Structure 1
């Protein structure tokens, strides 16, 4: 229950920040263009808090935190007093209207740069992309990448960690080949290979791009020492505690963590005797193994997780920079997220990327909860990613989105007259249906992944 509440709270905070940023962009530029703003609302429904400034703008925080809006004076929506006509949105030059509408997505991109800038100032600990192994008969099994190789470049872009690698692998979906560069453990000689990826089939529900290609990232060995015991689990009922080292199950010596997992998973609901090393002494515990359904199959489940051995020296490093380098790094990262988002939308239209890749509010809420649990720097990275995606989606040429309004205004700019209202009305209806369809698919995907 606490985890659910934390996820909901993180989602509300993230959404509130991003909506406020987006709408503030419209608001700020509208004010500078001489448009009267009647209301700036974060959320919908009943007002929880509101106040009015000296220029007559009402600021509102509403009960339903699923969006927001800026209401400007506009003859197309309400009657406008004659003395206020010069301040109406629809009376502004088309270039001003373009600036006001484009400001929302643009500020989303600027906010992403700001969030990443703060993240890089604080410092983000990450892991070098070291390949522990390559799975036999996988796409990458045809390459000559050696074990313990450090990937340095994918395609045309340098990579520093596994997140960079993941982004660049995704960008190659639908292509025939992939260029990879890496160094051996001594970091002296950079080697390269061209991998044929025509047979690559990526399903986001079955794993990451890294795993689907057969790459096995280096991870410290798993120990037999328990790191966490889930409350009210079978392990908790038996009496297992963090720092217990599992020695034997039913008298059988456990050589490694994989053997422990295999033993437990094949004995759902069975009685078990557990010998652990606790405080230098061997302790015998007894109880029943629980169960968990995985893809329709009932397996044994205890509810504990292991600890890991220490990372080798030099494997971990921190993305932390001074002010100038942090700005440069944040701008580069934001630009890459923007271009990758556009690439994915294009591949969605061509069929290279399945609609199964679409994610909706449930997935975003889960991401907000997990990133917030991991710490401020991870939450900032999450906000940057979602802010970029929000900006890109709003620029789609669907009439219900900012991009649709911009399309109409650009047509007006070149034709010299507004798009007829009858045409705009049809566009709004078609755009609304398409947007509803995309959201329905995304939510369906979210539910299927639960």
Structure 2
């Protein structure tokens, strides 16, 4: 329950910030172009806070934090007094209307640059892209990738960290092959990866290739216990070292998880070493069914791990001007990658099961907030970019659909008919609702 509340709170904070930024982009450019703004709303439903500015704009915070809008004076909707005709949105030049509509997504992109700039200035940790293992009969194994390889670049794009390697690999989805430059021993080796049949499931790019990133081996010492979990109820404490379960001597963490998974709702005698003494505890793992409906035991613990080898984890931090350059480059890279992903969803190179909805976003917000300010800033930047990209899609109910109509008007010299626009809005709303439905179904499937 605590995790749910934290995820919900993080989601509301993140979405509230991003919606405000997006709508403020529309608002600011509208005001600069002399458009009268009637309402600036963040959230829908019953207003929980309302304030009216001197210019007559109502600023509203709604109860349901799932979007927002800027309501501008428009003769097609409102009764406009003669003295206010010039300030009506529909009476502005088409170039001005384009600027107002485009300002929302652009504000999201500018916000991402600012957030990434702050993140790069603060600095953080990065992990060297070392292959820890390769699945048998996988694309990676067939291509000749082996454990211990360090990925230096993907199609000539440098990959100093696993994060950069993941983004570079995502861009290769749908291609029949790509080049991978790896360091093996003291030599560099170029590998041509035949990526036919590469399937991405729930964003697991490396899993689809059969690559397991290197991670330090987990130990049998408990490092974390989840509140209210079977482990806590059974009396396990942080720093306990697991010795046996039902008399079986434990040698690895994987062996431990397999025993726990196979004994859902069954009492286990767990022997631990605590402060130099051996203690036996009676613990019953809870049943947490898998997606396929099979029974799986859950204890609610995380192990301590071995130390990282020297050089595998390194600090990343930039000065003012390098950080600004890096933030602009990364924002552009993410925008480009997001549009590529949309294209690959349309062509079928990436399955619809990779779509995420509000539940996954809430979980991502909660986890990133838990792991520190830098990771939360990175999450905000990525979601802000995605929000901007999605709004630029040419669906009539989105900013991109309005821009499509205005560009047609710019070329034709006259606006698209009301009947065509209305039909487009209905089709766009249907497509958007269908996409949202698939995303929410995917979210529930991941729970």
TM bucket, shorter chain: over 0.9
State the distance in 1 between where 2:434 and 2:146 align.
45
> 1:202 maps to which residue?
200
> Of 419, 424, 431, which aligns to 1:422?
419
Paired residues of 2:36 and 2:73 also in contact (CA < 8 A): yes
> 1:160 maps to which residue?
160
1:8 is the counterpart of 2:22: no
State the distance in 1 between where 2:438 and 2:269 align.
47
State the distance in 1 between where 2:388 and 2:365 align.
18
The 5 A counterparts of 1:75-86 are 75-86=75-86
State the distance in 2 between where 1:174 and 1:59 align.
45
State the distance in 1 between where 2:35 and 2:288 align.
59
Deviation of 1:265 (Å): 2.5
Deviation of 1:397 (Å): 1.0
Q: Report the 3-state secondary structure (helix = DSSP H, G, I; strand = E; otherwise coil) of the residue aligned with 2:296.
A: strand
Per the alignment, do residues 219 and 426 of structure 1 end up closer, same or farther by CA in structure 2, a change over 3 Å counting? Answer: same
> 2:347 maps to which residue?
350
Deviations 1:234-293 (A, max 9, x none): 322332111001112233321121222222333333333222111122223234444332
State the distance in 2 between where 1:253 and 1:441 align.
46
Unmatched 5+ stretches in structure 2 = none
Paired residues of 1:72 and 1:89 also in contact (CA < 8 A): yes
Q: Report the 3-state secondary structure (helix = DSSP H, G, I; strand = E; otherwise coil) of the residue aligned with 1:231.
A: coil
Per the alignment, do residues 202 and 45 of structure 1 end up closer, same or farther by CA in structure 2, a change over 3 Å counting? Answer: closer
State the distance in 2 between where 1:37 and 1:292 align.
51
The 5 A counterparts of 1:32-431 are 32-184=32-184, 186=186, 189-204=187-202, 208-294=204-290, 295-431=292-428
| C-alpha RMSD of the superposition | 1.6
State the distance in 1 between where 2:277 and 2:427 align.
71
Q: Report the 3-state secondary structure (helix = DSSP H, G, I; strand = E; otherwise coil) of the residue aligned with 1:181.
A: strand
Paired residues of 1:150 and 1:185 also in contact (CA < 8 A): no
State the distance in 2 between where 1:255 and 1:279 align.
20
> TM-score by structure 1 length?
0.95
State the distance in 2 between where 1:426 and 1:407 align.
14
Paired residues of 2:128 and 2:160 also in contact (CA < 8 A): yes
State the distance in 2 between where 1:39 and 1:269 align.
55
State the distance in 1 between where 2:269 and 2:41 align.
60
State the distance in 2 between where 1:299 and 1:243 align.
25
Query: How many positions carry a matched residue from both structures?
Result: 446
Q: Report the 3-state secondary structure (helix = DSSP H, G, I; strand = E; otherwise coil) of the residue aligned with 1:275.
A: strand
Per the alignment, do residues 43 and 301 of structure 1 end up closer, same or farther by CA in structure 2, a change over 3 Å counting? Answer: closer
> Of 422, 429, 434, which aligns to 1:437?
434
Deviations 1:182-231 (A, max 9, x none): 22355xx4321111111222222xx7111221111110111000112233
Range with bigger deviation, 62-71 or 268-277: 268-277
State the distance in 1 between where 2:326 and 2:345 align.
28
Paired residues of 1:124 and 1:319 also in contact (CA < 8 A): yes
Per the alignment, do residues 88 and 299 of structure 1 end up closer, same or farther by CA in structure 2, a change over 3 Å counting? Answer: closer
Deviation of 1:448 (Å): 2.0
> 2:22 maps to which residue?
22
Per the alignment, do residues 362 and 291 of structure 1 end up closer, same or farther by CA in structure 2, a change over 3 Å counting? Answer: closer
